[in-house]
Amino acid sequence: MFPALPRSVTPKATGILIGALVSICAPYAGAVQVDAAFLDKQIAAKADAVGVKLSGRCEDGEFQRRLWLDLVGTIPSAEEARRFLADASPQKRAALAERLLADPRFPARMAEALHLQLMERGGEDEQWLVYLTNSMKANKPWDVLVREMVAPDFKDESKRAAGYFMTRRLDKVGSQTTDYPGLTRDVGRMFMGLDLQCCQCHNHLTVNDYKQIDFNGLFTVFQNLKLNEPAGEYKIKWLSEGLMEAKFEFTSVLSGVKGSTGPRVPLGQEIDIPSLPEAERWLVAPDKKTKLGGVPKFSALQNLAEKLTSKENPQFARNIVNRLWWQFMGRGLVEPLDLSHSGNPASHPELLEQLASTMVERQFDLRWMVREMVLSEAYQRSGKKSAAKQDVADELFALALERRISAEQFLRAFLTAAGEFERVLEKKGWDEIKETPLDPKKVQTSFRNAFANAPKEPELKVDPSLRGALFLRNNSTILWALQPRPGNLLDRLLSMEKSEAIAAELYLSFFSRLPDKDEAEEVGSMLSASKDRPKTLSKIAWAMAASMEFYTNH
């Protein structure tokens, strides 16, 4: 069990009371089996306590769409969707989850989701994505991954690309050539769930747990790094570390109180700076000829990365658990994701603590937690309002929350639905149609421009924009994909006679479900009034692609 965060704020709300109990009663008696069933018990207990009824399971169609988007980053084809709906096995949901977890697209999707969270559209780099994907393929433990990112070994070619997180985050913003405070803040946010920005200059004004020393213990380490241009065998920007011989001194701009710190993980213990005789300070002395920086015997960065990712740092495990929960459930157990402190306890404190300690026991196995989450009832809940129509707080997870689809997910889902995925993204089937092939990179960029946030704007919420609306309305690729062409959706629809079959194909293609009676009739009446069948079908397909049911992961 982890030591609780310092608790300097008196709990007020009932939800917070549970948090207080947890920290008082720790450690827990006996080992708890932390699995999908445990997650569900925890969610149910809280809902019970406040008298809220949990919504039931979502329908199979909604489930498969959700699971596909989450695990493989796209939606199933109409044929896949139909097969799943027709499957009578009671175990089919678990079986689908296992199948998709073993799909080669799963590591790629996890890498993409991590990339979006870590880089926040601050940059793209192919090698970085390859590194993340390979790491996810190997199910590399999160602590190992973070050590490789925070204290990158540029000499090791297989891990060099991990350094992109640090070098890109450190690289210039606006008129500044480097951004050390920004990097410091981001390491706190991404790996500990703490936004320490305010603490560069003073103790946090509203968060008692965050002190000036917490920022500067990280800052002193990063400030000691030099960002180097590509040189020699390093074809990418790289970092070198200087000697650290003294503590970093700082003064509060508000109180004038002075402080000092060596390398230190926020909320943790300071790392001693050893005093070494001058001749012994470098393991490898800097070489002026090759311009490669030296390697200090005492590497503050290595030490910090070890401590940051160690079992003794409870925030490290809490943070990744919270971020994964957010990714799959639509809301963190702690919100905002980067504002974890004792005055802002988790919605389900015991759940968070047990997940975090189990994560440590299981050597930071991300796939384990993903699997337990998608098998839980909490994940499979319906997103539709319950009959009671009460407005239920998101943090109860009483119904599935609508989640944002990334630009990349949207692109793949749209092309899958339109039946143009292989042609556009895999460059197949152009010969038979005598059209100039579309450039997949350009198509990706145009979707990104339409749906991605600006750099450093985290993509946390569903956020319909004018830009996205104009793109869907007028972009030529969208209209192009919804024209009949051998093997695509429109082509299939035009080969069908009965409006029921057409409606089913449309709804399976876009929403992974079958239409209800009204929806099927709506398609039927549009078709019977139509004078130009291809145009009418294209219009219906477009309306579905531009609808909220398609735009969100629900």
Which one of 48, 155, 463, 494 is in contact with another protein (CB under 8 A)? Answer: 463
Nearer to another protein, 154 or 551 (CB): 551
Work out whether 540 is an interface residue with another protein (CB under 8 A): yes
Work out whether 554 is an interface residue with another protein (CB under 8 A): yes
Nearer to another protein, 8 or 465 (CB): 465
Work out whether 479 is an interface residue with another protein (CB under 8 A): yes
CB 156 → another protein: shortest distance, Å? Answer: 37
Residues 426-455 that bind another protein (CB under 8 A): 449-450, 453-454
Q: Give the total of residues touching another protein (CB under 8 A).
A: 46
Per-residue contact flags (x/-) with another protein for residues 203 to 242, judged by CB under 8 A: ---x------------------------------------
DSSP 265-277: -TTSPBPP-----
Counting Cβ atoms within 10 Å, is residue 519 exposed (0-12), middle (13-18) or buried (19+)? middle
How far is Cα 141 from Cα 135, in angstroms, rounded to an integer? Answer: 9
Residues 186-205 that bind another protein (CB under 8 A): 197-198
Work out whether 499 is an interface residue with another protein (CB under 8 A): no
Q: Do you find a cis peptide bond into 181, omega within 30 degrees of 0?
A: no
Nearer to another protein, 391 or 497 (CB): 391
CB 206 → another protein: shortest distance, Å? Answer: 8
Work out whether 521 is an interface residue with another protein (CB under 8 A): no
Residues 351-410 that bind another protein (CB under 8 A): 383-385, 391, 402
How far is Cα 413 from Cα 427, in angstroms, rounded to an integer? Answer: 17
Nearer to another protein, 157 or 463 (CB): 463
CB 239 → another protein: shortest distance, Å? Answer: 25
Nearer to another protein, 33 or 476 (CB): 476
How far is Cα 249 from Cα 213, in angstroms, rounded to an integer? Answer: 10
CB 388 → another protein: shortest distance, Å? Answer: 13
How far is Cα 351 from Cα 37, in angstroms, rounded to an integer? Answer: 12
Work out whether 509 is an interface residue with another protein (CB under 8 A): no
**How many CB atoms are closer than 10 A to CB 12?**
9
Q: Which residue has the tokens 């405070």?
A: 181
Work out whether 549 is an interface residue with another protein (CB under 8 A): yes
3 state SS for 139-191: CCCHHHHHHHHHCCCCCCCCCHHHHHHHHHHHEEECCEEECHHHHHHHHHHHH
Tell how far CA 19 is from the center of its chain: 26
Work out whether 142 is an interface residue with another protein (CB under 8 A): no
3 state SS for 321-348: HHHHHHHHHCCCCCCCCCECECCECCCC
How far is Cα 186 from Cα 163, in angstroms, rounded to an integer? Answer: 14
End-to-end CA distance of the chain: 35
DSSP 496-513: ---HHHHHHHHHHHHHSS
Nearer to another protein, 297 or 535 (CB): 535
> Per CB under 8 A, which region of 87-95, 112-120, 144-152, 536-544 contacts another protein?
536-544
Work out whether 468 is an interface residue with another protein (CB under 8 A): yes
CB 339 → another protein: shortest distance, Å? Answer: 9
How far is Cα 468 from Cα 411, in angstroms, rounded to an integer? Answer: 12
Provide the binding-site residues for another protein, judged by CB under 8 A.
174-175, 197-198, 206, 383-385, 391, 402, 449-450, 453-454, 457, 462-471, 473-476, 479, 519, 522, 526, 535, 539-540, 542-544, 546-549, 551-552, 554
